[in-house]
A and B are shown apart, each in its own frame.
Chain A
Amino acid sequence: MILDVNHAAFRYDPLRLIFSDISFSLKEQEVLCILGPNGIGKSTLIRCLANLYPLCAGCIRLHNRDIRSLKYRDVARVIGYVPQAHEITFPFTIRQFVLMGRAPHLGLFRSPGGEDHAKADEAIELVGIGKLADKPVNEISGGEYQLAMIARALAQEPEVLLLDEPTSHLDFGNQIRVLEIIDRLARSGLSVIMSSHFPDHAFLTSNNVAIMQHGSLIAYGLAEDVVTEENLKATYGVDVSITYSHDVARHVCVPHKAGQCRCRDLKQPECSQRRIALMPAMR
């Protein structure tokens, strides 16, 4: 076990409990996907795992040692944290940005040296943005920025990668590309915890899935066991179908009702009539 979470609970202020009684553990090369609706505390949980926020009850153990007893620097050598994309004020180049991942391996007064530059370049190549290395981070696309942040976490040479919604704000192709990279990293020996809004991503990459709802985990286990029609209905309040697709050789998750009113089948009276009824009002 790399990471053990026991009855973890967190609150920002005494009145507002974000989550409680969360327990799970992470093995080597395991990919754990955390699903849950907006604002339920997935990001907060990931920040707690990265030792950014202290728990109010329970504990997180990293290699069997309480994470709060470790220094930031010692945690950073084991855990790489990839936050959600945010604005950066100053136009650092991608290479300078990724190089910052070497911080936990450098002394207080040291600047990165040749070896650190080599490791940063290696990480940049690994995520496939080598051509952009000298571009400023605020002039690249959201997908490239996400990859740059993953590269920075890789430059840390961590054992665990924590990714907070790595696919949000990305287009369809970039989502799959990021998931492929995560999958590749897991196969090369990293353990991964990621949060996601798409149940399908659980089938694409994960071994285990944890579903957060009402401040705790309502389901935790293998993706095929946990991502079920009932659980998703309970979590997101929408009807979905989980079917096995032989074309792609995995389970897929398909929502039922989206786009009901824009159907092409005009014979459906409810749809077309409502449209016509709306039209004068729209003028």
Chain B
Amino acid sequence: MVSFAKLSTFLSEVPATVGQLTSRITAGATGTVLIYSLLPLIFICSLFFGRYDVSPLHVIQMLAAPVADLVPGNLIHIEHTWSAAEENVIYQIRLPRLIAAVLVGAGLSIAGAAYQGLFKNPLVSPDILGVASGAGFGAALAILLSWNMALIQVSAFCFGILAVTITYLLSRFYRTTPTLILVLSGIIVAAFFTALISLTKYVADPYEKLPAITFWLMGSLAAVRYSDILMVVPFFAIATALLLLIRWRINLLAVGDDEARALGIDTKRMGQVIILCSTLITASAVCIAGIIGWVGLVVPHLGRMLVGPEYTRLLPACLLLGACYLLVIDDLARMLTNAEIPLGILTAIVGAPFFAYLLSRKSVGWI
């Protein structure tokens, strides 16, 4: 368990790093620089950890080799000292898995931060409008009907979008306080789809399909392949880019709808754009990784502690922190026990005490 020892030394450094970061809140720019350098570091380190032992040196060489080959004239030559099995583990298993962790972590965090602004409520998470329950039902149904992996993902994605569409249309029936009605509609739709999930589980074959559904709902990145990533990357990229482009204006929504409109913002249109982007991101995340709670709720808070509530800085910070957070959690999921631990469990088991610790050591303006 060489890599496990490495992991534990790495983990012992995490609180110190976070402590450094939180103490830099006043010098926010420095904090931002630290956040930016954290992601590549954690990403590379995460490649070292896993059931199959690959030495860090080999990992670095393997990563550098394709780059070196690009340099014309064979100026740099890297000896192929690693085995084909090692290369397979790194390139076909760990790399896609880590890329997925980055996408899902970053996506859920930015969607959560945008929703918290839209709903003016720091307790909102990306599945507030029912996207996770809808997607969960889509996947459960597909598993029940013995569809293949790709169709399970498509079904999850479509039902996630469908759930939010129903929520939105439902909220249009009532004319008062749109945000509150939207949240209530979300609760209604989520409850409905959660019941449907239970129904699917109830009728599922208890030896094969019930465990499959249950594990899918707990979330995991273990089975992610490049093709899955390619399928969702366009949605992630477009929706994230759009949110980043309008991020300064999310500030105005976070202050109040009436005031935002009096300041010339078409709040209804902007709300639709944010809901659409966040839903696309969350549905994509759920369809490749299952239901991973807590990330979209906690990471925006972490971001606010580091760079403040202002969205031009908060959203980029959330992207990076979310990616780092899920990378670390996924490392733990692979490393803590002999069997994989589902991600959805770990995000809360690790995240909840960590968040409680952060809240206790810093007075937070918004709670």
Q: Which of A178-227 contact B (CB under 8 A)?
A: none
A108–B246 CB distance below 8 A: yes
Q: Which of A90-104 contact B (CB under 8 A)?
A: 90-93, 96-97, 100-101, 103-104
Q: In this assembly, does B255 line the interface, its C-beta being within 8 Å of a C-beta of chain A?
A: yes
Q: Which residues of A contact B31 (CB under 8 A)?
A: none
Q: In this assembly, does B235 line the interface, its C-beta being within 8 Å of a C-beta of chain A?
A: no
Q: Which residues of A contact B304 (CB under 8 A)?
A: 90
Closest-CB distance, A69 to chain B (whole angstroms): 15
User: Please, which residue of chain B has its CB at the minimum distance from the CB of A100?
Assistant: B252
A47–B258 CB distance below 8 A: yes
Closest-CB distance, B247 to chain A (whole angstroms): 8
Segment of A109-117, A165-173, A261-269 in the binding face: A109-117
Q: Which residues of A contact B276 (CB under 8 A)?
A: none
B365–A90 CB distance below 8 A: yes
Segment of B127-135, B262-270, B345-353 in the binding face: B262-270
Q: Which residues of A contact B117 (CB under 8 A)?
A: 90
User: Please, which residue of chain A has its CB at the minimum distance from the CB of B257?
Assistant: A52
Central interface residue in B248, B263, B308, by most chain A CB within 10 Å: B263
Q: Which residues of B contact A146 (CB under 8 A)?
A: none
Q: Which of B236-251 contact A (CB under 8 A)?
A: 245-249, 251
Q: Out of B121, B122, B245, B310, which one reaches A92, CB within 8 Å?
A: B310
Q: In this assembly, does B259 line the interface, its C-beta being within 8 Å of a C-beta of chain A?
A: yes
Q: Out of A72, A90, A91, A111, which one reaches B248, CB within 8 Å?
A: A111
User: Please, which residue of chain B has its CB at the minimum distance from the CB of A72?
Assistant: B264
Q: In this assembly, does A120 line the interface, its C-beta being within 8 Å of a C-beta of chain B?
A: no
CA of A75 to CA of B266, assembled, Å: 12
Q: Which residues of A contact B366 (CB under 8 A)?
A: 89-91, 138
CA of A71 to CA of B259, assembled, Å: 15
Q: Which of B258-283 contact A (CB under 8 A)?
A: 258-266
Q: Which residues of B contact A76 (CB under 8 A)?
A: 262-264
Q: Which residues of B contact A52 (CB under 8 A)?
A: 258, 261-262
Q: Out of B121, B255, B264, B365, which one reaches A104, CB within 8 Å?
A: B264
B365–A136 CB distance below 8 A: yes
A96–B365 CB distance below 8 A: no
Q: In this assembly, does A81 line the interface, its C-beta being within 8 Å of a C-beta of chain B?
A: yes
Q: In this assembly, does A73 line the interface, its C-beta being within 8 Å of a C-beta of chain B?
A: yes
Q: Which residues of A contact B51 (CB under 8 A)?
A: none
User: Please, which residue of chain A has its CB at the minimum distance from the CB of B310?
Assistant: A96
User: Please, which residue of chain A has its CB at the minimum distance from the CB of B262?
Assistant: A81
Asked, given contacts A83-B258, A91-B365, A111-B312, whether A73 binds B248 with beta carbons under 8 Å apart, the answer is no
Q: Out of A80, A92, A109, which one reaches B255, CB within 8 Å?
A: A92
CA of A160 to CA of B256, assembled, Å: 21
B254–A89 CB distance below 8 A: yes
Q: Which residues of B contact A156 (CB under 8 A)?
A: 263
Q: Which residues of B contact A89 (CB under 8 A)?
A: 120-122, 254, 366
Q: Which residues of B contact A81 (CB under 8 A)?
A: 258-259, 262
Q: In this assembly, does B309 line the interface, its C-beta being within 8 Å of a C-beta of chain A?
A: yes
Asked, given contacts A88-B255, A89-B122, A89-B254, whether A73 binds B262 with beta carbons under 8 Å apart, the answer is no
Q: In this assembly, does A270 line the interface, its C-beta being within 8 Å of a C-beta of chain B?
A: no
Closest-CB distance, B287 to chain A (whole angstroms): 29
Residues of B within 8 A of A (CB): 117, 120-122, 245-249, 251-252, 254-256, 258-266, 304, 308-310, 312, 365-366
Residues of A within 8 A of B (CB): 47, 50-52, 71-77, 79-81, 83, 86, 88-93, 96-97, 100-101, 103-104, 106, 108-112, 136, 138-139, 156
New contact pairs (19) apart from A92-B251, A96-B310, CB-CB < 8 Å: A50-B262, A51-B261, A72-B264, A72-B266, A73-B264, A73-B265, A81-B258, A83-B256, A83-B259, A83-B262, A90-B117, A90-B365, A103-B260, A104-B263, A106-B248, A108-B246, A108-B249, A109-B246, A111-B247
A-B contact pairs, 8 of them (CB 8 A): A52-B258, A72-B261, A90-B120, A92-B255, A101-B263, A103-B265, A104-B263, A139-B365
7 A-B pairs with the lowest CB-CB distances in the bound complex, closest first = A91-B365, A76-B264, A104-B264, A73-B264, A81-B262, A90-B309, A111-B248
